[in-house]
Amino acid sequence: MVSYTVIGGPSSEQLGRKISSKLNSKYIGTELRVFPDGESKITLKDKPRGRIIVVQSIYPPVDSNLVRALAIISEARRYSSDICAVVPYLGYARQDRQFLPGEIVTISLVAKLFKAAGATKIIVVDIHSMIALKLFQIPAKNITVVQELVKYFKRLKLKNPLVVSPDMGGIARARNFARLLSVDFIALEKHRDRKTGKVVVKQGDHQQVRGRDLILVDDMISTGGSIMKATQYLRKHKCGKIYATCTHALLIGDAEKKIKQAGVTKIVSTNTIPGKTSIVDISPIIAKAIV
């Protein structure tokens, strides 16, 4: 029987505990000290043994949480040659290609750092780019938790629900979500200026949303710009309630407040990133992927 030790990093302590419980394994927490100059110092609270699972999400502050993940992995490598890095939200995954001359594909460096630190495998959740995943030089696995979000919405009494992708790039995600929920879906067409970041939803005939409750589906919500634009557009078409759901709710600054002011009834996300909206637990799915 395989013996596991789960180390919960500072950014994912609660999720780490839940995964450890599902695996019936030893759990080790970490103690974080941040010096006045911003440096992080991490101490493991116990000695790990067996196969080691390091759980550390890389959300803001992204650079700090990345360094902390690498530090924990490096220390864990002293105790085992089998280190699985569970990174529920992988920062830098959006920097997977060069859009403008001179741009650096940072995720390529991040991938190399995980191997250099001592990770022998990495598990991520609903990664933004499969191109990014292919840059890792160790076995890398992406797991989807869309089915867990769907389970949540199946329990709600929605009025003739319709799944909506806020952009054409999310069609596959919306289609899958709608299939699991046994409803229809549509996708809006938007344009984002690469330099200014301004988002515009292109006009179209979307009379099918009238009177129906809508579920805006995305992989992540950062500033909420796309969700707000989509919500404002859909409300003009006399829809019912609008829900926004995603795997990763970054919700930078006052994004949550602005999204609700735009007309979203509720934001539903998973606990890849802890917060008020992270009401869907994904530890069972992650534990299954580890075993």
- Per residue in 189-219, pLDDT tens? 877 666 776 666 665 667 788 999 999 999 9
Question: Within the chain, what is the greatest distance between any pair of CA atoms?
Answer: 61
pLDDT reported for residue 75: 98
Annotation says 121 is catalytic: no
> How does residue 124 score in pLDDT terms, banded at 50, 70 and 90?
very high
What span, in angstroms and rounded, lies between the C-alpha atoms of 166 and 152?
20
Helix spans in 130-224 (H): 130-133, 146-154, 171-181
What CATH fold (topology level) applies to the domain 146-271? Rossmann fold (3.40.50)
Q: Do domains 4-144+281-290 and 146-271 have the same CATH topology?
A: yes
What span, in angstroms and rounded, lies between the C-alpha atoms of 41 and 67?
10
pLDDT reported for residue 291: 85
Residue 53 pLDDT > 90: yes
- Among the residue ranges 5-9, 40-44, 129-133, 261-265, the one predicted with the least confidence is 129-133
Domain boundaries, the chain: 4-144+281-290, 146-271
What span, in angstroms and rounded, lies between the C-alpha atoms of 43 and 22?
24
Q: Are 282 and 20 in contact (CB under 8 A)?
A: no
Catalytic residue selected from 45, 190, 198, 288: 190
Residue listed under structure tokens 């495998």: 121
| 40, burial (CB in 10 Å: exposed 0-12, middle 13-18, buried 19+) | middle
pLDDT reported for residue 248: 98
What span, in angstroms and rounded, lies between the C-alpha atoms of 131 and 211?
39
- Among the four given CATH numbers 3.30.70.270, 3.40.50.2020, 3.10.50.40, 1.10.1740.10, the one describing domain 4-144+281-290: 3.40.50.2020
> For the residues 271-285, what does the mean pLDDT come to?
97
- Burial call 230-252: b when 16+ CB within 10 Å, e when fewer: bbebbeebebbbbbbbbbbbbbe
> How does residue 26 score in pLDDT terms, banded at 50, 70 and 90?
very high
> How does residue 1 score in pLDDT terms, banded at 50, 70 and 90?
low
Residue 65 pLDDT > 80: yes
Q: What angle do CA 63, 244, 196 make, to 5 degrees?
A: 55
Write the pLDDT tens digit of every residue in 239-250.
999 999 999 999
pLDDT reported for residue 60: 97
Q: Measuring CA to CA, how many Å separate 231 from each of 108, 192, 234, 266?
A: 35, 16, 5, 12
